[in-house]
Amino acid sequence: MVVEFSLDKIKEAAEAFVAAIENRKVIAFHGEMGAGKTTFITALCHALGVTNAVSSPTFSIINEYRSAGGERIYHMDLYRLKDETEAMNAGVEDAIYSGDLCLVEWPEKAPGIFPPDTVHCYLQSVAGNQRKLQINL
């Protein structure tokens, strides 16, 4: 599935994405620096009813939020990690296998820890504020 959207329509794209993934729990976001991974995840969290501030977990590795229904959402950024061992030591694997929704940036830093049913999403900037999101369900 491929979705193209402009940043001014990111809310609508995020709502459509939430419907498309159904009850999948681990979503891996691939993309170059500046492609909009954190921006899209912020829109996803808002679409799920998160009212707290959503921010990049680049330094904390894992941020935790609550949806409107009280469900836990993990937002992870593996950019600073070297490998699966560092990811496991940081608690990433525990979060991924918790059964809670996990939105993971830079999953290629620790590819061996993801379950087979992980949804892989490839985000790219195509022109100005236009983005292309390929979703592999």
| Six token digits for residue 131 | 């983005």
Alpha carbons 4 and 80: distance in angstroms, whole number: 29
Dump pLDDT digits (tens) for 4-60. 999 899 999 999 999 998 889 999 999 999 899 999 999 999 999 999 999 999 889
DSSP letter (8 states) at residue 83: S
Q: Flag whether pLDDT at 128 surpasses 90.
A: no
Return the pLDDT at 54.
93
Q: Flag whether pLDDT at 114 surpasses 90.
A: yes
Return the pLDDT at 88.
95
Q: Flag whether pLDDT at 106 surpasses 90.
A: yes
pTM value > 0.75: yes
With CA atoms as reference, report the closest residue to 79 among 53, 42, 39, 107. Answer: 107
Return the pLDDT at 41.
96
Show the domains of the chain with their CATH numbers.
2-136 (3.40.50.300)
Contact indicator for 73, 67 with CB cutoff of 8 Å: yes
